[in-house]
Chains A and B, each alone.
Chain A
């Protein structure tokens, strides 16, 4: 009973999956570009959570089986993804400002200049 209450790696992965799904629903259904960009941030955070949880898992495993120093590659990847998120937000919001200047709207449905 006590072991069931303890938080395992799977709990973190399920939380990451739930956040990922919320982000996917936001990207697919919302019309406001700003909220679509925020949903993309939610997705990136879900991926980060998975990476850090699996890094924690590898560290715990390497200690349990007497391996070398813990593998922190997941945390380094999470830092790289945060960098990418910053770049993506800057470029996305720049595009959004240019779009708003031309069309006076932030509606995704009206972003159709490249539509054939």
Chain B
């Protein structure tokens, strides 16, 4: 079966992501920014599917677009934003910030034009395999599970984050 990873889909998803990113950093209303970010994240999960990473694509949709963005929207709802809409949206250092980002962009361009011979031309193809099973083998496998300890640390991190968020947001402890 011919892969569907055509250049057209790549450019469509990439354009959606870039336009979504630009809208995130330029919109006045935080809700509009959140909506643009959700669009960009969904387009990114499409890119993950093109990269033969279906498990990461599913996690992206469920956790990012479904979980983290709902958290953002809830906080936007709890915080009154009427006053922020009338204020200036960009700080005094915006010019310096853009110059710094342009310097970083120049660095990226220099690195990628010099290093582009490292990567082979054209699309990489291979049998799709059992992606989710292979990821699970790396995480929990009895012989190949080299990330098991990191996984436990990640669960501890989430526990600390839950406690921290509750303590921070509570009025009186």
Interface residues of A (CB under 8 A from B): 3-15, 17-26, 28-32, 34-35, 37-39, 41-42, 45, 48-49, 52-53, 55-57, 59-61, 63-64, 69-70, 72-73, 75-76, 78-80, 82-91, 93-98, 100-101, 105-109
Q: How far in angstroms is the closest Cβ of chain A from B78?
A: 7
Check if A76 sits within 8 Å of B138, measured CB to CB: yes
- Residues 117-167 (chain B) with a chain A CB within 8 angstroms: 119-127, 129, 131, 134-135, 138-139, 147, 150, 154, 157-158, 160-162, 164-167
Q: A56–B52 contact, CB under 8 A?
A: yes
Whether A91 pairs with B33 at a CB distance below 8 angstroms is no
Q: List 20 A-B contacts (CB under 8 A).
A: A10-B119, A18-B21, A26-B24, A34-B75, A38-B37, A38-B72, A41-B68, A42-B37, A48-B44, A48-B60, A59-B52, A63-B127, A76-B147, A79-B56, A80-B154, A82-B60, A86-B63, A86-B161, A88-B161, A98-B168
Chain B residue numbers with a CB within 8 Å of A42 are: 21, 24-25, 37, 40
- Do the beta carbons of A30 and B121 come within 8 Å of each other? no
In the complex, are the beta carbons of A17 and B33 less than 8 A apart?
Answer: no
Assess whether B33 is in contact with A19, with CB atoms less than 8 Å apart.
no
**CB-based nearest A residue for B18:** A18
- For A38, give its contact among B33, B120, B158 (CB under 8 Å): B33
Q: Is the CB of B79 within 8 A of A82?
A: no
Which residues on the A side are within 8 Å of B22 (C-beta)? 22
Whether B79 and A6, one on each chain, are in contact in the complex, defined by CB atoms closer than 8 angstroms, is no
Neighbouring A residues of B18 by C-beta, 8 Å = 15, 18-19, 22
The one of B60, B64, B89, B100 in contact with A28, judged by C-beta atoms closer than 8 angstroms, is B100
Min CB distance, A59 to chain B, in Å? 6
Q: Per a CB cutoff under 8 Å, which of A64, A89, A105 touches B72?
A: A89
| Complex CA distance for A53 and B105, rounded to whole angstroms | 19
The interface residues of chain A lying within 8 Å CB-to-CB of B79 are 34, 96-97, 100, 106
